[in-house]
Amino acid sequence: MSGFFILSIILAYFIVLLIISRLTSKGAQNEAFFTGNRNSKWYLVSFGMIGASLSGVTFISIPGLVGASGFSYMQIVIGYMLGYAIISFVLLPLYYKLNLTSIYSYLGGRYGPKTHKVGAGFFLISRILGASVRLFLVADILDYFVMSKYGIPFEVSVLVTLLLIYVYTYRGGIKTIVWTDTLQTLFMLIALIVSVVLITQSIGGIDEAAVGLKSLGMTDWFVTDNPNDSNFILKGVLGGLFITLGMTGLDQDMMQKNLTCRNEKEAKKNMMWFSIILFGVNFVFLILGGLLSLYAQDNPDILASIQGMDLDKQTDRLFPLIALEGGLGTAIGITFLLGLIAAAYSSADSALTSLTTSTSVDLFRLDTWKDKLKAERVRKYIHIGMTVILFFVILLANAFKEQDVINTLFVLAGYTYGPLLGLFFFGIISKRKVNDNLTWIVCLIVPIFIFIFKTYEGEWFNGYKSGHEILGVNGMLCYLGLWAFSEKKKLIVNG
């Protein structure tokens, strides 16, 4: 598939997004940008959240996991389901009861204005790092397979991409995102299904594929042999639970879409259907990963160009290599590109919108300004500023990509959700009062302790390797730290 053809597909895709933006942002002001005027159809939100939740990292990396770890990722997906249930029946009722625009406003009412800013600050760090790394991984794939062949610098391709995302989100914000995410999820799922069908045919059909997938562990989801293993079943399920609570339930990016629904009942319906569909989609992605491994076994020559790379890059480039250069035809190449772009940019555009919203509402309190025109003008400046920040963090990731900075950024982003878990659930469960001036100390010390623990855990605990469950430990320690600084007093919690 020629590079010019690939670039044409990308350009056509963005033209469609710009048309949608034009149609959905007519007359949009700050209220539409932040909340979509709370008039979104729940089924559109639910469907669109699938693409935003999975992102380009899932589209590239999850299929590559199967060769090394089989289908054990489904342990984490089971944990996701438990987390979505807690979000539906604990967090969403709270957010709707308080009529929140930014979910971190809850922290201001529960603890005070300083904790409000601390919570928003942890989110901003988390989402800037997470969104930048996700977009970088996709930009790196496009640079490797397309842009470098035309001499287009990495910086230029990233800048153009961010400018296009800025253009179709700067007016309508979340109102536009609900619709563009729906389209992007559709493209991603079409790409997934077409890829599964075409690769199944190429390796001999359904029966042959079923035998091969079973040998790779399609029916073996649970790791029960060694409790020290980072993939051990309890770590996987708890990790999925805490990832969902932190990175969905306490994340303005994901919750902002839920809060555009008309009421709490529709938001709950959205979340439950979303979780059911997401369970199936993750399983199909793993099936795709198994099929890619089987195809690579039958066609060893196709892997020659990535054999010299480290293992992470080999697995990340397995899907794009087979789709674009594996000799399976134009159809799989086109659907892969559309799916990749859709998965990446549905995550990036909603991240840019949520970063702008949180900064506007939590730090600048634009929702309280009486001069609405001035508030809208400041919000647009913030939107530009967030675009610039994402650009430079992506360049940083590219500059140090050979030094495992990507994994480090992801780990750091994961740490910052721990304090949010502690702050929110202490506020919900406990009736004790914490000094607003002290919460930041707890939120800073605990992640540092977790970092030290993960560095030396193998030495201290006889080869123990923590998994994603460490996020829950982070939150629990923050909870205990807040309790240590608290005292019994009656609280009046305000939004």
487, containing H or E segment: strand 486-488
Question: In whole angstroms, what is the distance from residue 145 CA to residue 377 CA?
Answer: 39
Answer whether residue 454 is part of any domain. Answer: no
Nearest to 10, CA basis, from 195, 138, 120: 138
Question: Beta strands 486-488 and 432-434: pairing type?
Answer: antiparallel
* Beta pairing partners, 415: none
Per-residue pLDDT band for 204 (boundaries 50, 70, 90) equals confident
**pLDDT over 60 at 39, yes or no:** yes
* Beta pairing partners, 487: 433
Question: In whole angstroms, what is the distance from residue 252 CA to residue 357 CA?
Answer: 8
Total number of domains constituting the chain: 1
Answer whether residue 393 is part of any domain. Answer: yes
**What token pair was written down for 236?**
């996987």
**pLDDT over 60 at 118, yes or no:** yes
Question: In whole angstroms, what is the distance from residue 413 CA to residue 486 CA?
Answer: 27
**What token pair was written down for 269?**
């319906």
Query: What are the DSSP E strand ranges found in 312-443?
Result: 432-434
Query: 128-143: string of b/e by CB count within 10 Å (b at 16+)?
Result: bbbbbbbbbbbbbbbb
Give the three-class secondary structure for 386.
helix
**pLDDT over 60 at 311, yes or no:** no
**pLDDT for position 406:** 44
| CATH code for the domain of 170 | 1.20.1730.10
Per-residue pLDDT band for 312 (boundaries 50, 70, 90) equals very low
Region 86-97 average pLDDT: 93
Question: In whole angstroms, what is the distance from residue 409 CA to residue 354 CA?
Answer: 19
Answer whether residue 471 is part of any domain. Answer: no
At 401, the amino acid letter reads: K
Contact 32, 172 (CB under 8 A): yes
Contact 103, 421 (CB under 8 A): no
Contact 383, 103 (CB under 8 A): no
**pLDDT for position 405:** 44
**pLDDT over 50 at 485, yes or no:** yes
User: Global pTM?
Assistant: 0.80
Answer whether residue 181 is part of any domain. Answer: yes
**pLDDT for position 151:** 80
Range ranked top by mean pLDDT from 72-76, 440-444, 446-450:
440-444
Q: Domain of residue 237: give its range.
A: 3-401
**pLDDT for position 35:** 60
**pLDDT over 70 at 404, yes or no:** no
Answer whether residue 423 is part of any domain. Answer: no
Contact 318, 61 (CB under 8 A): no
Per-residue pLDDT band for 403 (boundaries 50, 70, 90) equals very low
Give the three-class secondary structure for 468.
coil
Q: What 8-state DSSP symbol labels residue 247? A: I
Range ranked top by mean pLDDT from 52-66, 103-117, 342-356:
103-117
**pLDDT over 60 at 32, yes or no:** no
**pLDDT for position 314:** 54
Region 338-360 average pLDDT: 77
Region 46-58 average pLDDT: 70
Per-residue pLDDT band for 305 (boundaries 50, 70, 90) equals low
Q: Phi/psi at 212 (nearest 5 deg)?
A: -65, -40
Range scoring the smallest mean pLDDT among 2-6, 428-432, 433-437: 2-6
**pLDDT over 70 at 307, yes or no:** no
Map tokens 């994603």 to a residue. Answer: 468
Range scoring the smallest mean pLDDT among 199-203, 400-404, 435-439: 400-404
Q: Phi/psi at 113 (nearest 5 deg)?
A: -65, -35
DSSP 213-262: HHHTTTT-----S-TTSTT-HHHHHHHHHHHHIIIIIT-HHHHHHHTTBS
**pLDDT for position 438:** 92
Answer whether residue 476 is part of any domain. Answer: no
Answer whether residue 450 is part of any domain. Answer: no
Q: Mean pLDDT of all residues in the chain?
A: 80
Region 346-365 average pLDDT: 81
Region 232-258 average pLDDT: 86
Answer whether residue 385 is part of any domain. Answer: yes
Map tokens 């949180």 to a residue. Answer: 358
